[in-house]
Copies of this chain bind each other. A is one copy, B any other.
Amino acid sequence: MRSLTEIIESHIIDLLGRNEEDVVSLRRKELAEQFGCVPSQINYVLRSRFTPERGYLVESQRGGHGYIKILKICYDMPEEKVRHVEDLVGDSITEQGAKRLLLSLQSRNIIDARERLLIEVALRHIDDVGESTFDVSPYKRNVLQADLLKRMLRSLVFS
């Protein structure tokens, strides 16, 4: 038996697919009624399934005319390519290695210059924080960077 969470997840994905746009707008209460659950179940589904790491952005507003919007930032890339990229990153990566990889992704138009810059800045930040605030060893910092790099690339690539 599929869990309620999975059922609601597929329902939302279905709505997204049916729509021309990569966005769907919901009322939390209505959806909860439709599936006979408490409203906070919807939050659980969103938190666990529609994360940025999986390529989704969620916007919501409380109060009168409140809503929940789910956006799919959708870019198609073959699964094998994703795996390839993750293999290239590995469990640990140096700053130089990361830069080389990002340049290569940019040259293949998988990311653009601004996206590369954003990723480099984030990697640099985690390295700085690791070094100066938490006194993490260089190797462990490279592990943190690899983890972040994979997450960021996966979010862009997930389809």
> How many protomers of this protein does the assembly include?
2
Contact B53 A121 (CB under 8 A): yes
With an 8 A cutoff between CB atoms, is A85 at the interface?
no
With an 8 A cutoff between CB atoms, is A125 at the interface?
yes
Contact B64 A3 (CB under 8 A): yes
Give every chain B residue within 8 A of A71 (Cβ-Cβ). 113
Chain A interface residues (CB < 8 Å from chain B): 1-3, 6, 51-53, 55, 57, 59, 64-65, 71, 73, 75, 99, 103, 113-122, 124-126, 129, 133-134, 144, 147-148, 151-152, 155-156, 159
* A9, chain B: closest CB distance, angstroms: 12
* A53, chain B: closest CB distance, angstroms: 6
Bound: A159/B119 CA distance, A: 14
* A54, chain B: closest CB distance, angstroms: 10
Bound: A155/B83 CA distance, A: 29
Show 25 A/B contacts (Cβ-Cβ < 8 Å), sorted by A.
A1-B65, A2-B65, A3-B64, A52-B120, A53-B124, A55-B117, A57-B117, A59-B99, A73-B114, A73-B117, A113-B159, A115-B115, A115-B118, A117-B155, A117-B156, A118-B119, A118-B152, A121-B151, A122-B125, A122-B152, A124-B151, A125-B126, A125-B147, A129-B144, A129-B147
